[in-house]
Amino acid sequence: AKKSGRNTYTFFTESMNRGVSRELALEEQLHGALKRNEFRLVFQPQIDVVSGTIVGAEALLRWHNHLLGDISPEEFIPIAEHTGLIIPIGEFVLTSALQAVTQWQAHYGSELRIAVNLSPRQFRDPNLIDFIKSALNRSGVSASTLELEITEGVLMSGHSFIDEALQDLSELGIRLAMDDFGTGYSSLSYLRRYSFDTLKIDRSFIKDISVSTANRELVTAIIAMGHALGLEIVAEGVECTKQQTFLCEHQCQYAQGYLFNRPMNADDVTEALSQQSTS
């Protein structure tokens, strides 16, 4: 027992050290990543489930590090947040996303939208609103082209500058989406309190609609409630036609997911748009 106890101890310290040193290595590499041009965006189309056409896309960040290889945003975004590096990285995301949508709109219509994720930490940047304003001006697209996706984490702090920032953003005509709806504790009260335009139903609810009656009921209720509040609804993580059919039948108008498209580069979105405009 003594021996296995010691082994357990050794195992834990080693794996903890490995965890810590990976995090340190990531943090170290993250500092130079923008300068080394290691980030790029991919885009996942948002689809009108009835017509099957692309109405916009969500920008998703990718990092390929010269030493560590591909690193998932689930792993590096939290590090970027606590180091504050999310501020310059977020500016890169916004600028590049607007660049992409400018191209798409030039050929395929000004109704096409771009959705960009904002982290809680970015709201503590006093320059956030000005940056967004001037990035929009530089791109030439209208404010309503841009939809900012925020999770409950942003709203939870209860800071008054969050309220002010959200107010400013919606007064500028920028759209606000509540991301990962249903995964937090108070999403409902936040929906009432802030002027959201879009509700994104979290993938975990969509995943089980073909097998779980309870989840079907839940998704049906979320859609009805969203509509009652005048929100557009996007279902996340749609992977099969059963889910698509369910969403159509329950008047959920928009969806994203592997069934339609994997996240792809800007040129592939252009290609997909060109195919749907000729068909």
Where on the chain is the footprint of Ca ion (CB under 5 A)? 117, 149, 179-180, 236
* 70 scored as a contact of ligand C2E (CB under 6 A): no
Reading the block at residue 184, the tokens are: 């937090």
* Residue from 208, 239, 264, 265 binding ligand C2E (CB under 6 A): 239
237 binds, among ligand C2E, Ca ion, none (CB under 5 to 8 A by kind): ligand C2E
Nearest to ligand C2E of 29, 256 (CB atom): 256
257 binds, among ligand C2E, Ca ion, none (CB under 5 to 8 A by kind): ligand C2E
CB of 6 to ligand C2E, least distance (A): 39
Q: At 259, phi and psi to the nearest 5?
A: -55, -40
DSSP characters over 107-150 = HH-TT-EEEEE--GGGGG-TTHHHHHHHHHHHH---GGGEEEEE
CB of 125 to ligand C2E, least distance (A): 12
Q: Where are the alpha helices (DSSP H) in the chain?
A: 2-33, 73-83, 86-108, 128-139, 152-156, 160-171, 187-193, 203-207, 213-228, 241-249, 266-278
Residue 193: partners with Cβ closer than 8 Å, 6 or more residues away:
155
Report how far residue 227's alpha carbon sits from residue 222's, in angstroms, rounded to the nearest whole number: 9
CB of 208 to ligand C2E, least distance (A): 13
Residues 244-263 that bind ligand C2E (CB under 6 A): 256-258, 263
* 44 scored as a contact of ligand C2E (CB under 6 A): yes
263 binds, among Ca ion, ligand C2E, none (CB under 5 to 8 A by kind): ligand C2E
231 binds, among ligand C2E, Ca ion, none (CB under 5 to 8 A by kind): none
User: Are the C-beta atoms of residues 274 and 71 closer than 8 Å to each other?
Assistant: no
Return residues touching ligand C2E (CB under 6 A): 44, 60-61, 72-74, 77, 93, 117-119, 179-180, 203, 237-239, 256-258, 263
